[in-house]
Structure 1
Amino acid sequence: MSTFSTRRYHDIRQALLARQELALIDVREEDPFAQEHPLFAANIPLSKLELETYARVPRRTTAITVYDDGEGLARLAAERLQALGYSDVAVLEGGLAGWREAGGELFRDVNVPSKAFGELVESVRHTPSLPSEQVQALLDAKADLVVLDARRFDEYQTMSIPGGISVPGAELVLRVAELAPNPATQVIVNCAGRTRSIIGTQSLLNAGIPNPVAALRNGTIGWTLAGQALAHGQAQRFTEVSETTRQSAAQRARSLADRAGVQRLDCQGLAAWQADDHRTTYLFDVRTPEEYAAGHLPGSRSTPGGQLVQETDHTASVRGARIVLVDDDGVRANMSASWLAQMGWQVAVLDGLSADDFSETGDWQPPLPTLPQVAEVDVEQLATWLDDSATVVLDFTASANYVKRHIPGAHWVIRAQLAQALETLPVAERYVLTCASSLLARFAAVDLQALTRKPVYLLQGGTARWVAAGKPLQDGETHLAVPRSDRYRRPYEGTDNPREAMQGYLDWEFGLVAQLERDGSHGFKVLQA
């Protein structure tokens, strides 16, 4: 077995305080990660290292420290990272227990840096909010107000405030003048919990829009706890804006970004940053995914600005790296950058672009290592084999996808827990592996082949191709080979969570500012009025 150097809690803390680049990677599945982890830990499960690491930790000489909580995953992750070409990989001394024993603060939930920052913003700026009961009374009275939902459109469609309009966070300053043209109109910004409501409301206030603005206090959680009905399947979205509105919003956003210390780059400056092999530079396009697909700067990643601020750790997983933001209007990049700068990032907005620079089309494709070669079977061959009990199908998709639909008889497995799963799976003469696209299953097939002498096959095109062929499907938790730990169930998702869990989540958020003080490594600096 390979040997790796170790890094201590104090090494990590010192690097954070010195603003040095580092990637602290928790290689457990999302649910155990969400139960307890350091503030700036990024969750990249061992199961998905090959799929996610090149995008999230793009510089191969980055100082990476991996850890688990005694499950034996960290050293396997370190070996895989070395095989992927990373040259400075260490294991956290003592793992999560070592962090705790050294006095390190540990946090619950996901996207904690952003959520803790949002709570700090509210505590410093006293961001105004209205309780659910008051907003409901205004709606009932048909008062002059608009409710703007700052989440992603799919989240908004799942559940939203009746009459609310989907305006994801980075779009608010650009779109609000068209949605509330009367400066007397009350603007309410909501999300599911608190963070995006606070940041969205404060964005409008920071930009100096003339309307009265308030967050919906505690979001849809607060609405539900108040016994008020949510709407489902709403589809009201923002519309295009006039050139006058765009120019006014751009001036407001640029002024705010300058106050926050956002840097400016042209294409030559960006090239110089990207050529520096001692620093990591992320290039994010913060417009909508539809705009990105229609035309974007080559090499940029689609990362809508509101979500970038909400879950920075999931895309910019190297703390201390540089971030460059791109848009085509001067609003969304500057607004998003103003927040990232307050969160301690070195951030710049790319200026001087023309329409010709947005020359690449299509969705963002993550960088991947060379894909392993695996024997494959098509849908028709698998359909024939399913009549034979000697064939065992293993599905490595997200558990939520599996529960929604899967190939009849398929067993759901987490790749990193494959060895344990084999102990409970039926005896097989052959294995066929799948996931949504078969990409993750391709890497899992290599793992399985090392664990068994039975033939291992990959389903061409994955479960998506099986569905497209009109083959039969099952749903539900029919064959779970391991517990569903791949995703942490957020207390703010859906309306079927216990009231105690929703209230407990709010109480946890209220306590984040105190946790930040105890941790002391965040480097956040909230812009004053």
Structure 2
Amino acid sequence: MTDLPYKFPAVTSLAVRQALLGRTEIALVDVREEDPFAQQHPLWASNFPLSKIELEAWRRIPRRDTRLVVYGEHGGTDLAPRAAAVLRGLGYTDVSLLDGGLAAWIAAGGEVFRDVNVPSKSFGELVEAKRHTPSLAAQEVQALIDAKADVVIVDARRFDEYQTMSIPTATSVPGAELVLRVRELAPDARTRVIVNCAGRTRSIIGTQSLINAGLPNPAAALRNGTIGWTLAGQALDHGASRRAPAEVEAAHRQQARDGARAIAAKAGVRRIGHDALATLEQPGRTLYRFDVRTPEEYADGHLPGFASAPGGQLVQETDHSAPVRGARIVLADDDGVRADMTGSWLAQMGWEVFVVEPVADGVRGERGTPAAPAPEAEAVETVSPATLAGWLDAAGEGDIAVLDVTASVNYVKRHIPGAWFVIRAQLAQALATIPSARRYVLTCGTSQLARFAAADLKRLTSAEVSVLEGGTAAWIAAGLPLESGETRLAVPRTDRYRRPYEGTDNAAAAMQGYLDWEFGLIAQLERDGTHFFAVA
């Protein structure tokens, strides 16, 4: 990572708060790994781990003169100056450090929040409180299933989350798809629709979306989602694959379109023609362009310059997708429903939102999923999987060490035998644990991150440093041996925060604690005061 020849200015917590209250553009950048970030951070902080900042910055903060305020201390080390230097090297011209870091923010009375995607989760709690979103307890829903009542259960999470665990009989209908597709599953207005997620937010937003868009069916959220279901001692399904019909009847589409447009207008969403998009490009303003359809539809053809961000997840993860608070957001779809519904929620969360008016199919001429923009890493020696395998077979003590800088979840799933898990930003600490070697080989999933890590490692050792060509994916493709598990952790697995609502082996106390935390978010919002949420 970049050396520190430049002294960065410091910005006080008060100045950051004033920018948020003044609704001027600012990105508050937390460069710790995800787990320490999730323990406590300001409401509008966005997580940019120093370990992979080069791979994320240009995509998530597209305007190079955006005002960036950086902080992040972990394990007694201030990561912020290093991250600021990298950001400056990437072309960002307005980079400052948060004076005194997170400790100063707290000392100044700044509110700090736990978990990830906190803006959306706190907003969801506010929606339920303001709109009295109907909900049913797990036991009530189980009774309806047992009685074979006229009820349809829809799961508003991503399909992969749904497949991991789901409510019996539930169908996967990710958030932004609900208003468009639910009438195909429940064409009779007397059919009850129940929306669930893992916890609370997406079920609340999904249920309220159906109500806001004028669905005549009775709708309710599954109170506390799969967490509530599990705490009630009820069995979940695993590996389910039910999806809503791909085709939507013309009459149903029009009803959905009318309802979505009405709530979007009420929330303050503005409309813009495709030929007028350039007028949103203004000096000093960040513009995010998102296509809110499914990834498959996006890949089949999308408007040039638009990124894929399925609407339900965009509302859930706005702090990740749009870390520049105060930016503009423009949304596109091909049905006149999903962009309006997504926009209605983002506008209620305080964003300036536009929706692109319908365009001819031919205008969506860009296909595939473009690679995220990233700089080139410094040149480094590389080694093929076959050559590395030979080196490892012939290696004696102290000859070679393989360092894997991939995400820890991927490392645990499978890695090169003998490889050490390392977090890139903690290479110096890792070297104190790993036995010294005359040659180090770095890998990750594809080798992209490993190439950046190799440049860092060269500054820390006089040993030979090289990168595995194609990363661990190439090793796997070559049919070479693998191992799994936490076999060699050079540093703790702080790169990933374990959500209390994910997976199937969570402790009951952790799940209940998570629900209790969500219930307290409205009080935190009131103390913080920077949210500008306005429930329509």
Smaller-chain TM-score bracket: over 0.9
**What whole-Å deviation, never above 9, does each CA across 1:386-437 have from its counterpart, x for those lacking one?**
1214111000111011000000000000000001101111121111111011
Instruction: State the AA in 1 paired with 2:120.
Output: S
Instruction: State the AA in 2 paired with 1:86.
Output: Y
Normalized against structure 2, the TM-score is what?
0.97
1:374 Cα deviation from its structure 2 partner = 1.4
Partner of 2:42 in structure 1?
38
Partner of 2:325 in structure 1?
319
On the 8 A contact 2:334/2:358 being kept in 1, the answer is no
Partner of 2:468 in structure 1?
459
Partner of 1:358 in structure 2?
364
1:303 Cα deviation from its structure 2 partner = 0.3
**Equivalence map 1:103-142=2 (5 Å):** 103-142=109-148
Length, aligned pairs only: 526
**Secondary structure of the equivalent of 2:182?**
helix
2:460 and 2:377 map into 1 onto residues whose CA distance is 19
1:344 Cα deviation from its structure 2 partner = 0.1
Partner of 2:386 in structure 1?
380
Structure 2 gap ranges (5+): none
On the 8 A contact 2:194/2:222 being kept in 1, the answer is yes
Is 1:14 aligned to 2:18, yes or no? yes
1:469 Cα deviation from its structure 2 partner = 1.2
On the 8 A contact 1:224/1:495 being kept in 2, the answer is no
On the 8 A contact 1:262/1:349 being kept in 2, the answer is yes
Partner of 1:186 in structure 2?
192
**What whole-Å deviation, never above 9, does each CA across 1:67-90 have from its counterpart, x for those lacking one?**
013521000001000000000000
**Secondary structure of the equivalent of 1:473?**
coil
**Secondary structure of the equivalent of 1:423?**
helix
**Secondary structure of the equivalent of 2:433?**
coil
**Secondary structure of the equivalent of 1:227?**
coil
Partner of 1:199 in structure 2?
205
Instruction: State the AA in 2 paired with 1:261.
Output: G
2:45 and 2:304 map into 1 onto residues whose CA distance is 29
**Equivalence map 1:466-477=2 (5 Å):** 466-477=475-486
1:357 Cα deviation from its structure 2 partner = 1.1
**What whole-Å deviation, never above 9, does each CA across 1:154-195 have from its counterpart, x for those lacking one?**
000000001110000000000011010110001000000000
On the 8 A contact 2:293/2:311 being kept in 1, the answer is yes
Identity rate, percent: 66
Partner of 1:217 in structure 2?
223
Instruction: State the AA in 1 paired with 2:19.
Output: A
On the 8 A contact 2:336/2:358 being kept in 1, the answer is no
**Secondary structure of the equivalent of 1:323?**
strand
2:288 and 2:250 map into 1 onto residues whose CA distance is 30
On the 8 A contact 2:212/2:263 being kept in 1, the answer is yes
Normalized against structure 1, the TM-score is what?
0.98
**What whole-Å deviation, never above 9, does each CA across 1:318-359 have from its counterpart, x for those lacking one?**
000000001001100000000000000000001141101111
1:504 and 1:133 map into 2 onto residues whose CA distance is 20
2:115 and 2:267 map into 1 onto residues whose CA distance is 28
On the 8 A contact 1:59/1:277 being kept in 2, the answer is no
2:109 and 2:432 map into 1 onto residues whose CA distance is 38
**Secondary structure of the equivalent of 1:416?**
helix
Partner of 1:263 in structure 2?
270
On the 8 A contact 2:415/2:482 being kept in 1, the answer is yes
2:77 and 2:67 map into 1 onto residues whose CA distance is 23
2:461 and 2:87 map into 1 onto residues whose CA distance is 24
On the 8 A contact 1:249/1:331 being kept in 2, the answer is yes
1:473 Cα deviation from its structure 2 partner = 0.4
Partner of 1:306 in structure 2?
312
On the 8 A contact 1:262/1:341 being kept in 2, the answer is yes
2:337 and 2:515 map into 1 onto residues whose CA distance is 31
CA RMSD of superposed structures (Å): 0.8
1:248 Cα deviation from its structure 2 partner = 1.8
1:371 Cα deviation from its structure 2 partner = 3.1
Instruction: State the AA in 1 paired with 2:274.
Output: C
Partner of 2:334 in structure 1?
328
